[in-house]
Amino acid sequence: MENKDNYPLILVVDDEPDVESLIRQRFRKSKYNFLFSHNGEHALSSLSSIKNIDLVISDINMPVMDGLTLLSELKNEYPLVKTIIVSAYDDMTNIREAMNKGAFDFITKPIDFTDLEVTLNKSLKYVQELRQSVLSLQENNIMRMFVDDNALSYMLAKMQDKTLNSSEYIEASIVFVDICGFTSLSENNEPRNILSLLQTYFDFIVQIILNNNGRIDKFIGDAVMATFTSQSHQRNAASACLEIRQAIAANDKDLIAGDLDFKPNVSIGLNSGTVLCGPVGSRRLNRYDFTVIGDSVNVAARLQSLANPGEILTTKSFASHLSEEFKFIEFGQKQLRGRQGEIDVIKLLSR
């Protein structure tokens, strides 16, 4: 006997005893699997226990539960399962009601099996496309959990002109925010509690970055990297840094998970300049991160490493753009790891 396990599964609901034998005989060599129920109530029981039913063919006039009632139940409980209604040609009132209730198509009795096969193929194609659309939507929603919306918009635009793997130079401000003390905290506490606390911190930080027109580039352990690219990117980035520091300090009681003895604080590195923006990753794995790279990014990261808890460190060049609006003080000339020579480091204090 031919294995039909991968064929579409169709549930036929009809109380006439010869319908099952006729359909089995007519479609014995077809690429369909059929199940049979004699009323709507039994059909719902089948649908609840068998999860891969693709299509329902239902008569209207049946005992216990008629086809119109079944159709209403299917619409509410199984919206991806489409229904073909079968009824007498002169029963157009019920057929019209069935179509209004969401029936995908209808055929009339006596059944023309050639017409039924055409209707089956059309209906199953629609069901397959519908399920693929739902799957794509679910995959898209999952992807949006891991990929920033701005990155998706950029990639979609690049796909239109077939330059997805290309990069471009842009002017941007880069921020690295590190949650101080998490490494030592992790040594003596349950990882699940640490993760919960970390996610709570990230929620605070991310919302402030988004409110200031920033984009989350990536999460790096207990740190966040953000990029600001609007016309006022330096001002937005500086505002975000001050607001993050203030919010963490003001909500320290809300940010303590369980019995963890930990007072929240952040160290922040901030810089701006020309960066290369685009996908970075492995062609072999076909996996990429949408990010920015360049010396300005490296300096921001090194400044964050240099900053003490509660400090926001930046460069003299960055401070020069905002000296009339924000208060800065000199932090001194510092040697940044991996760079030759010293640079003038500036501390951002307030507006």
Are residue 69 and residue 185 in the same domain, yes or no? no
Residues in the chain: 351
CB atoms within 10 A of CB 56: 28
Are residue 210 and residue 304 in the same domain, yes or no? yes
Q: Is residue 2 part of a domain?
A: no
What CA–CA distances, in Å, run from 220 to 100, 244, 280?
53, 17, 16
Structure tokens at 305: 């490493």
In the DSSP assignment, the letter for residue 63 is S
Position 63 scores a pLDDT of 84
Nearest residue to 12 via CA among 48, 50, 40: 40
Position 2 scores a pLDDT of 41
Are residue 101 and residue 220 in the same domain, yes or no? no
Are residue 113 and residue 173 in the same domain, yes or no? no
pLDDT profile of the chain (351 residues), mean per 10: 64 84 82 84 84 83 84 80 77 76 79 81 81 70 61 57 68 95 73 79 92 92 92 96 91 60 85 90 73 93 95 95 93 87 93 89
Position 307 scores a pLDDT of 95
Position 164 scores a pLDDT of 54
User: Residue 183 belongs to a domain with what CATH number?
Assistant: 3.30.70.1230
Are residue 238 and residue 312 in the same domain, yes or no? yes
Are residue 106 and residue 185 in the same domain, yes or no? no
Which residues, in sequence order, are bridge partners of residue 290? 279
Choosing from 86, 120, 145, the residue where a domain stops is 145
Are residue 16 and residue 81 in the same domain, yes or no? yes
- Quick one: CA torsion of 284, 275, 240, 213, rounded to 10 degrees? -80
Are residue 50 and residue 161 in the same domain, yes or no? no
Are residue 212 and residue 342 in the same domain, yes or no? yes
User: Residue 46 belongs to a domain with what CATH number?
Assistant: 3.40.50.2300
Position 261 scores a pLDDT of 63
Q: Is residue 3 part of a domain?
A: no
Position 326 scores a pLDDT of 96
Q: How far apart are CA 317 and CA 315, in angstroms?
A: 5
Are residue 159 and residue 265 in the same domain, yes or no? yes
* Pairing of β 223-228 and β 33-37: unpaired
Q: Find the helix or strand (DSSP H, E) in which 105 lies.
A: strand 105-109
Q: How far apart are CA 345 and CA 339, in angstroms?
A: 14
Are residue 233 and residue 315 in the same domain, yes or no? yes
**Count: domains in the chain:** 2
Are residue 35 and residue 49 in the same domain, yes or no? yes
Position 139 scores a pLDDT of 64
Note the pTM of the prediction, 2 decimals: 0.60
Residue 212: give the domain boundaries. Answer: 149-350
Q: How far apart are CA 173 and CA 208, in angstroms?
A: 15
Q: How far apart are the first and last CA of the chain?
A: 80
Q: Is residue 1 part of a domain?
A: no
Choosing from 79, 113, 145, the residue where a domain stops is 145
Position 245 scores a pLDDT of 94
Q: Is residue 215 part of a domain?
A: yes
Position 3 scores a pLDDT of 38
Q: Is residue 172 part of a domain?
A: yes
Q: DSSP string covering 260-291, please?
A: ------EEEEEEEEEEEEEEEEETTTTEEEEE
